[in-house]
Amino acid sequence: MWDIGTELTAIRAADLHRQRRVYQADGPVHMVDASGRRLLNFCGNDYLGLANDPRLGRVLRDWSGPTGSGSADLVTGHRYAHEALSEALSDWLQRDRTLLFSTGYMANLGVIAGLTRRGDLVLQDRLNHASLIDGGLLSGARCRRYRHRDVDHLQRCLDRPYRRRLVATDGVFSMDGDVAPLAEIAAVTAQTGAALLVDDAHGLGVIGSQGRGSLADAGLDQFQVPLLVGTFGKAFGTYGAFVSGPAEWIELLEQKARTAIYTTASPPVLSAATLAALDLVRTEGWRRERLAALIRRFRVGASQLGLSLGDSGTAIQPVIIGEAGAALAASRRLEVAGILVAAIRPPTVPAGSARLRITLSAAHADEHLDRLLDALDDPELRDSGRN
């Protein structure tokens, strides 16, 4: 028997039921819910405030080519807009070659499963994004997780004979906002002949010179880190993803990454809009400065309120609550106060570490941040944060 209802009841009973609601964006930082209430959004990943930028909207409106690409990349789907974006990304990141994917999720599946198989080893940070974990499972390789940011543990796990050993880590961790010790990880992988994949979904555009991300910040090139995965759905404000690296590595992935081969190429207008976004990411450094100033202000304000903050200097600022039900209740109280912050619960984060995942954007005004801090001045939050 399938017992679908029983399973749903168990999910509800554990406070783990997830609900998809409908919102309408109203400008860069507000959402209007189904009842017409206007809420201040502090849970998106639009870190630079580009998702609502009129210049990107104009690229979509002015597009005169076909909407659909009509076929896979390797047939006739790869158009000039895709090629221009791939080349601009390679140039920006100082890497030989770039392969586009429809989403970051597909990029991680395709890259990991394209390069490893049974008889190989895939090592991942415990807190890596689900798409990296799923890529390891899909590959058939032996999968192990090392302790969060623990390079000694990683080194011990690597010390085993396998055909290929791949280490994968988030650059900036998506639910914690802390940064992987990339220089140390790269040193260990180089020493042992393993390869390193960095998924910089939350670092690209946000940190490093010209927003080049975690690798640029750590001074690492494509020979130290052959596989860099990025997504356009976050700081770029559009949609899509890529892997970038040495020519031969990417050429091999063009042969082997099934999530790029057996799927329709994305609408070329998306690449055109992303190319315009890349130009804004590179040149509008004030967005990164604005974001950094908001992060500093948030951390000072939130620690004065006695909240349990994460070890994060990035746009992702978790307030750790503990139990799933308490995190959900806190998120609901914020919503009553007109503020949208998602409660992140297991299995997205480890049991007992449910949290409010607050994210900041260059588009937030000081007054928005003040409203958030006012709403976070909540004795129940302080109490649960001290558990």
Ligand X SMILES: *Cc1c(COP(=O)(O)O)cnc(C)c1O
Binding site per annotation, positions for substrate? 18, 129, 348
Question: For ligand X, which is the closer residue by CB, 69 or 131?
Answer: 131
Question: Measured from the CB atom, is 77 or 240 closer to ligand X?
Answer: 240
CA within 13 Å, CB half, 190: 13
- Comparison of 86 and 384: residue with beta carbon closer to ligand X: 86
CB of 108 to ligand X, least distance (A): 6
Least CB distance to ligand X at residue 338 (A): 26
Number of residue whose CB is nearest ligand X: 104
- Closest approach of Cβ 69 to ligand X, in Å? 18
Q: How far apart are CA 301 and CA 321, in angstroms?
A: 17
Q: For the chain, how far is it from start to end, CA to CA, in angstroms?
A: 41
Residues that bind ligand X (CB under 6 A): 103-105, 108, 129, 131, 170, 174, 199, 201-202, 231, 233, 241
User: Least distance to ligand X from the beta carbon of 201, Å?
Assistant: 3
Q: Which long-range contacts (CB under 8 A, 24 or more apart) does 322-328 make?
A: 322/352, 322/353, 322/354, 322/384, 322/385, 322/387, 323/15, 323/352, 323/354, 323/384, 324/14, 324/15, 324/16, 324/354, 325/15, 326/354, 326/380, 326/384, 327/354, 327/355, 327/356, 328/15, 328/354
Nearer to ligand X, 162 or 239 (CB): 239
Task: State the DSSP string of 269-286.
Answer: HHHHHHHHHHHHHHH-HH
Pairing state of beta strands 97-101 and 241-245?
antiparallel
- Residue closer to ligand X by CB (options 357, 368) is 357
Q: Smallest distance from the beta carbon of 137 to ligand X, in angstroms?
A: 15
Nearest approach, Cβ of residue 202 and ligand X (Å)? 6
Amino acid at 271: S
Q: What's the rounded Cα separation, in Å, for the pair 358 and 343? A: 9
List the binding residues.
18, 104-105, 129, 174, 202, 231, 348
Which residue numbers belong to the known binding site for pyridoxal 5'-phosphate?
Answer: 104-105, 174, 202, 231
Q: Which is nearer to ligand X, 53 or 200 (CB)?
A: 200
